[in-house]
Amino acid sequence: MQREAKKLKVGIFDFTDCEGCQVKLVSLRERLLALLERVEIVNWRLGQEKNRMDRFDLVLIEGCPITQDEIDLLKLLRERSTHLIGFGTCATMGGIPAIMDQKERAKWYNKIYGPQYKPRGIDSLPLTSYVKVDFLIHGCPVDENEIVRVMEELLSGKKPAYRGYSVCFQCKLAGNPCRLINGKPCLGPVTQGGCGAICVSGGSPCYGCFGIRDTAQIEGLLDILKGMADKEEIERYFTMFLRYTKEYNEIVRPFMERENG
Amino acid sequence: MIKNYKMEPVIERNSIPSLLKILSSDYSIIAPQERNGEVVFDDLKDPECLVLGYKVTILPPKKYLFPPEEILFTYSGKGVRTPSITSKKLLIFGLSLRDLEAITQLDEIMSTPHPDYFYWKRRSRSILVGVTDESVHAPPGGDLILERMDDELYRAIPLTQAGKKIVKGRFFKKQDILPHKGEGNQVMEELRKLLLDPETLAEAVKWSRAEGHPVWEELGKRCIGCGICTYVCPICHCFSMENSVSLDGSTCTRCRKWDACTLPGFARIAGGYDHHPSQKKRYYNWYYHKFVRGYKEYGKSQCVACGRCQTYCPARIDIEKELLGIVKDYREACG
A118-147 pLDDT, tens digit per residue, is 888 899 999 999 999 999 999 999 999 999
Q: How confident is the model at residue A237 (pLDDT cuts 50, 70, 90)?
A: very high
State the smallest CA–CA distance between residue A143 and chain B in angstroms. 16
Q: Where in chain A is the domain with CATH 3.40.50.700?
A: 8-155
A38 chain-B contacts, CB cut-off 8 A: 247-249
A153 chain-B contacts, CB cut-off 8 A: 244
Mark which of B139, B156, B177 sits at the end of a domain. Answer: B177
Is B277 contained in some domain?
Answer: yes
| Mean pLDDT calculated for residue range A153-157 | 94
| Mean pLDDT calculated for residue range A68-93 | 98
pTM: 0.94
Q: Are residues B154 and B269 in the same domain?
A: no
Which option is the CATH number for A8-155: 3.40.50.700, 3.40.50.150, 3.30.1380.10, 3.40.50.300?
A: 3.40.50.700
Mark which of B135, B152, B177 sits at the end of a domain. Answer: B177
Q: Are residues B20 and B169 in the same domain?
A: yes
Q: Are residues B327 and B214 in the same domain?
A: yes
B224 chain-A contacts, CB cut-off 8 A: 189-190, 216-217, 220-221, 224
pLDDT score of A1 more than 50: no
State the smallest CA–CA distance between residue B99 and chain A in angstroms. 18
Tell whether A223 is within 8 A of chain B (Cβ). Answer: yes
Contact A34 B226 (CB under 8 A): no
Report how many domains make up chain B: 2
Q: How confident is the model at residue A261 (pLDDT cuts 50, 70, 90)?
A: low
DSSP B14: G
Q: How confident is the model at residue A2 (pLDDT cuts 50, 70, 90)?
A: very low
Interface test with A, best of B55, B224, B269, B311 (most A CBs within 10 A): B224
**Are A2 and A15 a contacting pair, CB within 8 Å?**
no
Long-range contacts of B205-210 (CB under 8 A, 24+ apart): B205/B287, B205/B288, B205/B291, B205/B292, B205/B323, B205/B326, B206/B288, B206/B292, B207/B330, B207/B333, B207/B334, B208/B326, B208/B329, B208/B330, B209/B284, B209/B288
A37 chain-B contacts, CB cut-off 8 A: 248
* Strand order through the sheet with B172-177: B38-43, B27-35, B89-95, B126-132, B144-148, B153-158, B6-12, B172-177
A175 chain-B contacts, CB cut-off 8 A: 35-36, 38, 40, 42, 58-59
Amino acid B5: pLDDT: 64
Is B182 contained in some domain?
Answer: no
State the smallest CA–CA distance between residue A184 and chain B in angstroms. 11
Instruction: Give CA–CA dist B27/B64, Å, rounded.
Output: 14
Q: Are residues B171 and B194 in the same domain?
A: no
Q: Are residues B172 and B204 in the same domain?
A: no
Asked if the peptide bond before residue A141 counts as cis, ω within 30 degrees of 0, the response is yes
* Strand order through the sheet with B239-245: B79-81, B69-76, B252-258, B239-245
Contact A172 B258 (CB under 8 A): no
Mark which of B177, B212, B246 sits at the end of a domain. Answer: B177
Q: Are residues B155 and B193 in the same domain?
A: no
Is B79 contained in some domain?
Answer: no
B230 chain-A contacts, CB cut-off 8 A: none
| Mean pLDDT calculated for residue range A63-84 | 97
* Strand order through the sheet with A8-14: A39-44, A8-14, A56-62, A81-87, A135-137
Range of the domain at B30: 6-67+85-177
Q: Are residues B214 and B296 in the same domain?
A: yes
| Mean pLDDT calculated for residue range A169-173 | 96
Q: Kindly identify which residue of chain B lies nearest to residue A184, measuring between CA atoms.
A: B314
Q: Are residues B90 and B122 in the same domain?
A: yes
**Are A74 and A130 a contacting pair, CB within 8 Å?**
yes
Amino acid A136: pLDDT: 98
Amino acid B86: pLDDT: 73
Residues of chain B with pLDDT under 50: 1
Tell whether A104 is within 8 A of chain B (Cβ). Answer: no
A190 chain-B contacts, CB cut-off 8 A: 224
Instruction: Give CA–CA dist B131/B182, Å, rounded.
Output: 12
Q: Are residues B205 and B269 in the same domain?
A: yes
Instruction: Give CA–CA dist A128/A86, Å, rounded.
Output: 9
Count CB pairs under 8 A between chains A and B: 106
| Mean pLDDT calculated for residue range A202-230 | 97
Instruction: Give CA–CA dist B187/B66, Å, rounded.
Output: 25
Q: Are residues B199 and B277 in the same domain?
A: yes
Among the partner-chain residues B40, B224, B248, the one whose CB lies closest to the CB of A175 is B40
Contact B231 A155 (CB under 8 A): no
Q: Are residues B205 and B143 in the same domain?
A: no
Is B210 contained in some domain?
Answer: yes
Contact B59 A173 (CB under 8 A): yes
A152 chain-B contacts, CB cut-off 8 A: 244-247
Q: Are residues B325 and B225 in the same domain?
A: yes
Amino acid B2: pLDDT: 54
